[in-house]
Amino acid sequence: MADMRFDAQVAIVTGAGHGLGRAHALDLAARGAKVVVNDLGGTVEGTGASTGPASDVVDEIRKTGGVAVASADNVATPEGAEAIIQTAVSEFGQVDAVINNAGILRDRSFMKMTPAEFDTVLAVHLRGSFLVTHAAWPHLRAQGYGRVVMTSSPAGLFGSFGQANYASAKMGLIGLTKTLAVEGAKYGIKVNAIAPVAHTRMTAGILPDELAGEFGPELVTPLVSYLAHSDCAATGQVYSAGGGRVALVVVAEGPGWVKKDGLTAEDVRDAWEQINAVQPQIVPASAGEQTAALFSALQG
C-alpha cells in the first residue's frame, strides 16, 4: 500500500507548540501537508502567551524541508479562531484538515471549583474547538471535502477526580463530533475524536516520568494523521490511543426493558437488573437511529 501523503493539502493544528499538537504538526508536514502551527504559547494552566512555541515548531518543520506557518492566536476567541483560518487561506489558499488540540488544565475538586475555573477550561477546549471548526466550516463545505479531529480525553469519557471542568469540556466535544459528522456528511466532511494518553507537560505530574518513553506523543499521532487523511471514511467516531494501542470507543445502549402502560417507579425498581443489561447493545450513529431503535423496541 502507498504511503499516506498530504501533498497539496493544508492542515491546521491548534496547540501545536508542545506535546501532542507538535507531534501531529511534524508528522503532517513530513507527509507533505502545508501546516498552520497554532499555539498561544501560555502555561498548562492557560496563563501568559508567547509566539515562541509555535515559531519553534515551524522552524523545526522548515529545517527538514517542510512547509509551515506560525499562528499565536487564541482559539478561545472568535477573532483568534477566524485569524487561524485566515492564516491558512491567505498563506496556503485553502483548509483541508483541522486538528483541534489546544487545551489547558484548571484541576480542582468539585467542591472547590469556581465558576471561572469551569468557564475558562470550557472556553479553550469546547468553545475553542467550536470556534475554529466554525470558522473553517464554510471553506470545507464549499470545497466538498474536509477532515476534522477533536481532542477528547479518557477523563471526559469515563470521569476523573478533580476534573469536572475538563471532563465536561471533553465529553461536550463528543456531542460536537457526532453532530458535525451528521451535518458534514453530505459535504464530504468527516469529523472524529481522539481520547489520547501521552506523556507531555500536561500529564507530567500524572503519568510517571519512567513511562515517558513508552507513552510518547508520536504513538498517538498516527491515529490523528489517519483521521485527517482522505483515505479515512470513518465519521462521528471516537478512538482512544496511547502507548501504541488504538481502540474504538462507543456510546452504546442496552436492550432495555419495556412496559408500555402504567410504568411506575416500582416497576423501574423491580426491573432494575433487566434495565441495566448491556447486551445485546446498539451503537446508534445519530439520535435518529436511537429513536428508531426505541420505536422498534416498543413495537416488540
Applying CB under 6 A, the span of 33-41, 113-121, 254-262, 282-290 interacting with ligand NAI comes to 33-41
Q: How far is the CB of 202 from ligand NAI (least distance, A)?
A: 3
Size of the site for ligand NAI (CB under 6 A): 34
Q: Which of 145, 166, 187, 226 is catalytic?
A: 166
Helix ranges restricted to H, 64-192: 78-92, 115-122, 128-143, 154-158, 164-184
Q: How far is the CB of 69 from ligand NAI (least distance, A)?
A: 15
Q: How far is the CB of 152 from ligand NAI (least distance, A)?
A: 7
Which value, in Å, is the radius of gyration of the alpha carbons in the chain?
21
The 189-197 sheet, strands edge to edge: 67-71, 34-38, 10-13, 97-100, 146-151, 189-197, 238-242, 245-249
Q: How far is the CB of 131 from ligand NAI (least distance, A)?
A: 10
The pairing of strands 146-151 and 189-197 is parallel
Question: Is residue 20 involved in binding ligand NAI (CB under 6 A)?
Answer: yes
Overall size of the chain counted in residues: 300
Question: Is residue 173 involved in binding ligand NAI (CB under 6 A)?
Answer: no
Give SS3 for 67. strand
Question: Is residue 104 involved in binding ligand NAI (CB under 6 A)?
Answer: yes
- CA neighbor of 218 nearest in space, from 196, 235, 203, 188: 196
Residues 130-169 that bind ligand NAI (CB under 6 A): 151, 153
Strand partners for 148: 98, 191
> Which residue is listed with cell 472524529?
192
Residues 54-93 that bind ligand NAI (CB under 6 A): 74-76
DSSP 18: S
Contacts of 296 by beta carbon, 8 Å cutoff, 6+ apart: none
Name the closest residue to ligand NAI (Cβ). 19
**Rounded to whole angstroms, how far apart are CA atoms 1 and 4?**
9
Q: x/- contact string, 42-61, with ligand NAI (CB under 6 A)?
A: x-x-x------x--------
Applying CB under 6 A, the span of 12-20, 141-149, 175-183, 244-252 interacting with ligand NAI comes to 12-20
Report in angstroms the alpha-carbon separations of 18 from 38, 57, 96, 99.
10, 8, 22, 14
Concerning whether 187 is annotated as a catalytic residue, the answer is: no
Question: Is residue 216 involved in binding ligand NAI (CB under 6 A)?
Answer: no
Residues at the contact surface with ligand NAI, assessed by CB under 6 A: 14-15, 17-21, 38-42, 44, 46, 53, 74-76, 101-104, 124-125, 128, 151, 153, 196-198, 200-203
- Active-site residues, by number, are 166
